[in-house]
Amino acid sequence: MAILKHIAVKNNNYGQMQRYLLFRHDSHTQKPILNENGDMVFREGYIMDALNCNPFTFNTECTELNRQWHKNLGKDDRKAHHYIISFDPRDVPEHGLTPEKVQAIGMEFAKHYFAGHQTLIVTHTDGHNHSGNLHCHIVLNSLRKLDVPWQDFMEEPIDAKAGYKHHPTDKLIMHMYYHLQSICEREHLYTVDLSLSTDKRVTDTEYRKRQRGQQQMDERNQRIRADGYEPIHTRVCF
């Protein structure tokens, strides 16, 4: 089953977001993993593209755009939005899903919904906690850089104008779910379960908290298995 997650980010450190996508981080502390020389270590496998910016100067370009429009300067402003498209692990052996295909789907999705934004599209090949499921991260500056054509998922004229911010409304989130469903059907992949709640929007802090909870549950299940018992099959909902 494909899954779409949305995380609202209030942190104004775009460089930190960029480094998380490119370098290995401890899943518990979220701090970078360093080698013997004290340098950050690149992730084992990733593919990266960008829209409306250079992927290696994403942080400075976002900061400059915010200053130009005098937006995203407050502590409680949503500076960025982080979408994650995760695919069913069975899609790799059963349907031939590759990292390149995941990245292509991520690019298609980003161009459709975030065409006017400075956006990073990064596919990781190791899965959450090395689970093996291919997934794509889409991180965008919440402030729109360019005017874009009107689309049927938009609600207000400003949703297509430069200098205004991305708003993940209920209408937009639902549109995204059905769009992702159609992409999965087209590519013969396991589809989105539309019977599940579409309220997958959380803050960055809440997402990290749930990640830690999931890791604790995974570690507990490993200990139970080591003792020869059947683990509790519980998942933390993102």
* pLDDT value of residue 188: 96
* pLDDT value of residue 204: 45
- Structural contact between residues 201 and 168, judged by C-beta atoms closer than 8 angstroms: yes
Q: Which domains does the chain have, with CATH numbers?
A: 3-226 (3.30.930.30)
> Which whole number is the average pLDDT over 172-182?
95
Task: Identify residue 235 by its one-letter amino acid code.
Answer: R
* pLDDT value of residue 150: 96
Give per-residue pLDDT as tens, 190-226. Answer: 998 765 554 454 444 544 454 454 455 445 555 545 5
Which element (helix H / strand E) includes 143? Answer: strand 135-144
Task: Identify residue 177 by its one-letter amino acid code.
Answer: Y
Contacts of 45 (CB under 8 A, 6+ apart): 99, 124, 125, 126
Contacts of 201 (CB under 8 A, 6+ apart): 6, 7, 8, 168, 173
* Residue scoring higher pLDDT (72 or 206): 72
> Which whole number is the average pLDDT over 170-196?
89
> Which whole number is the average pLDDT over 124-153?
86
